[in-house]
Structure 1
Amino acid sequence: MTTMAEQTAAQPVRGAEIRRHELAAFLRSRRERITPEQVGLPRGTRRRTPGLRREEVAQLSAVGVTWYTWLEQARNIQVSVQVLDALARTLLLDASERAHLFQLAGATDPTPAASCPSVTGALREMLRRLEPMPACIQNSRYDILAYNRPYGRLFGDLDAIPPEDRNCILLVYTNEEWQSALVHLEETQRMMAARLRAALAGHLGEPAWKMLLKRLKSASPAFRAHWQRYEVVGPRTKTKEYVNPYVGFLKLEHTDLWLSPELGARVVMYTAKDEQSQERLEKLYEMARTGSPA
């Protein structure tokens, strides 16, 4: 006969086991609904498994086949946030499904897809009142945590980008629309990589930083080359030149307003450097406000 203490101690163990089985079932269900064509794989003529095979998910997520099989078998293994992020991308999870995946795994999603409690209602109101100036809130990792309507159109259509991909340095190195908007692309990329390396010193070993660096190195040869230069640059105000896809050339002053004594979260805002840029910012704001086409 078990004692009350033994029953209490067993409850967390049973809860963890239930979560593992729910995670396994969730992964299987999402794997089986994706066609090979959706992820760029040939269907072949001898496919019996609905959706993707386990080995295909493992290959696309850069994890071992045996390890992924154990995960779908609800084995008691540790899952890092980097692996969860890779699985979410491979299985084409939407924001709700991604949040569910991390919850089942007992992990915290470190990307901008997760809600950020430090972005208060007052800060969102401040962003709104800065319009027509484009402004956003970023952390030291370049995650875009919140933004106003002009900023959402500054480099294209930010609303169309999945929340987990809303990271400035990732977009500057991998998104063609953002790259086309930068007049001095390579200089901007090098500067951002140097600023990221400077900020990394205070976050060594943190899962979210490791995940971002792994993704950047995997996705961009240019980032790998710039990262190997070991350049370090601190934050500074600078004039920026953009070719906006809706209103044309913009010459803007970039300013960081720090939200704490540490160099972490900050408001990033852009003010016009000349009358023409001011007129075009106002036009951009009006387009974003009314939802009118370019």
Structure 2
Amino acid sequence: MDRHELAAFLRSRRERISPAEVGLPSGTRRRTPGLRREEVAQLAFISTEYYTRLEQARGPRPSREVLAGLVRALRLTDAERDHLHHLAGAPPIPSAGPPRAVRQSILDLLRRLPQAAAIVTSATTEVLAWNDLAAALMEDFSAVAPRDRNLARRAFLGPGGLGQRLYGVSDAEEFARNTAQRLRATAARYPDAPEISGLVGELLAGSEEFRQLWDAHDVAAEPTLRKTFQHPLVGPVTVNCDVLDIADRDQQLVIYTAEPGSSAEEALRLLAVVGTQRMDAPR
């Protein structure tokens, strides 16, 4: 435990938060910036005396419960949370599985890409978030259960042929190979995650193709820069495929864009208008 660094870090985080940010009245008689010590203690559910001793570098090593309260009270980021744990001599416990929560800024970004189809996938290839155009191009993810949004499960265990399971994409076999490689690397990062071991076990039991790919022990997936979707309404849609890593969440942002002036661009414009409704459905 580094008491002096811990004290300085707590003080710096406390002083940067305004009372309004945590629902407290600002008042007119504050002599210090940010929150008062007693306010942080109240928000963290600890005594003011104990918190004061921490800021004065003379407190005992805080428990993980106290640290969790301080993280919440001081609104620490994930990086700041980990730093707090290290300063307190209690390294953060590794995550039991890949994060599923998508940052609000990423969700906002999805909505700001009206001419591109975009999704966010987890380390287990589950589609966690999507914009309207992605739902129109691929499927209405909101209409299916979360387990059925998993692209690995869909690729290897879904009904029909591989291409049919994956929205008619031209690189279905390549996608399946890359997915197996990605899951192999994910399983190594989260060896104790039941979510991952359960998914891998399910795929091994249900797919001979996955078993063969898994037994190859490959982990270096090749990027796919271009692919074609066979859409039931607008036909083939050829798009550029860019994958951006969201490193702090172990997630990926996948963006599909059409070449300007191409027939694919016109198709995406039509899908943006049509949305997820089926034009061939009986009236």
Fold conserved between structures, TM > 0.5: yes
1:191 matched to which residue of 2? 178
Give distance in 2, aligned partners of 1:273 and 1:174.
Answer: 33
Distance in 2 between the 1:110 and 1:200 partners? 9
Partner of 2:241: 254
Aligned length in residues = 181
Checking the alignment, whether the CA contact within 8 Å between 1:195 and 1:235 is kept in structure 2 is no
SS at structure 1 position matched to 2:189: coil
* Equivalence for 1:153: 136
2:243 paired with 1:270: no
Give the RMSD, CA atoms, in angstroms.
Answer: 2.8
Alignment correspondent of 1:233: 220
Secondary structure in structure 2 of the residue aligned to 1:181? coil
Unpaired segments of 5 or more residues in structure 1?
1-108
Q: Which moved more, 1:139-148 or 1:269-278?
A: 269-278
- Asked if 1 retains the 8 angstrom alpha-carbon contact of 2:115 and 2:257, the reply is no
Asked whether 1:242 is paired with 2:234, we answer no
Aligned residues with identical type, % of pairs: 26
User: Where in structure 1 do 4 or more consecutive aligned residues deviate above 4 Å?
Assistant: 109-112
Gaps of 5+ in 2: 1-95
Q: Tell me how far apart the structure 2 counterparts of residues 246 and 163 of structure 1 sit (CA, whole Å).
A: 25
Q: Larger radius of gyration, structure 1 or 2?
A: 2
Distance 1:233 1:261 in 2: 20
Answering whether residue 150 of structure 2 is matched by residue 167 of structure 1, we say yes
State the alpha-carbon separation in 1 of the partners of residues 193 and 248 from structure 2: 21
SS in 2 for 1:255: strand
Provide the residue aligned with 2:188 in structure 1.
201
Distance 1:187 1:265, change over 3 A: closer
Equivalent in the alignment of 1:128:
111
C-alpha contact (below 8 Å) 2:102/2:128 kept by paired residues:
yes
Quote the Cα distance in structure 1 between the aligned partners of 2:165 and 2:142.
13
Which whole-Å CA distance do the structure 2 matches of 1:246 and 1:227 have between them?
35
What amino acid does structure 2 have at the position aligned with 1:266?
A: Q
TM-score (norm 1): 0.54
Structure 2 distance, partners of 1:193, 1:288, is 31
